[in-house]
Amino acid sequence: MSKHHHRDRSWAPAPEPLPREAWTVDDHTHVASVVPFSRAMSHEAEAKGQPPVPVYDVDEILGQARAVGVEGIIDVGCELPNLRTAVQMAVDHPGLVHAALAIHPNESVLHGHRGVPGPDGLELKYKPWHDVPFEDALAEVHRLATQHPDQVVAIGETGMDLFRTGEGAKELQREAFRAHIALAKELGLPMQIHDRDSHREVIETLLADGAPERTVFHSYSGDAEMGEIAREHGWYLSFSGTVSYKGNDGIRESARLVGLDHIMVETDAPYLTPMPYRGRTNAPYMIPYTLAALADAMDLPLTTVAQATRRTVRAVYGV
Closest approach of Cβ 86 to Zn ion, in Å? 11
Residue numbers at the binding site for Zn ion (CB under 5 A): 268
Nearest residue (CB) to Zn ion, 219 versus 257: 219
Comparing CB distances to Zn ion, the nearer of 26 and 268 is 268
- In sequence order, what are the residues at sequence separation of 6 or more whose Cβ sits closer than 8 angstroms to the Cβ of residue 287? 24, 26, 65, 68, 69, 70, 265, 266, 267
Q: Is the peptide bond before 276 cis (omega within 30 degrees of 0)?
A: yes
**CB of 49 vs Zn ion, minimal distance in Å:** 33
131 is in an annotated binding site: no
Q: Beta partners for 264? A: 238
Cα–Cα distance for residue pair 27/74, rounded to 1 Å: 5
Q: Is the peptide bond before 270 cis (omega within 30 degrees of 0)?
A: yes
Tell me whether residue 107 or residue 268 sits nearer to Zn ion (CB atom): 268
286 φ, ψ (degrees, to nearest 5)? -85, -5
228 labelled binding-site residue:
no
Which is closer to Zn ion, CB of 18 or CB of 269? Answer: 269
71 is in an annotated binding site: no
Instruction: List 215's β-bridge partners, or say none.
Output: 191
Q: Which is nearer to Zn ion, 195 or 268 (CB)?
A: 268
Is 268 labeled as ligand-binding?
Answer: yes
With CB atoms as reference, the residue minimizing the distance to Zn ion is 268
- Report, in Å, the least distance between residue 187 CB and Zn ion: 20
Output the smallest distance, CB 238 to Zn ion, in A. 10
Residue 2: exposure state from Cβ atoms within 10 A (0-12, 13-18, ≥19): exposed
User: DSSP code of 19?
Assistant: P
Residue 13 and residue 176: Cα distance in Å, rounded? 40
Question: Smallest distance from the beta carbon of 26 to Zn ion, in angstroms?
Answer: 11
Write out the binding residues.
157, 194, 218, 268
Write out the binding residues for a divalent metal cation.
157, 194, 218, 268
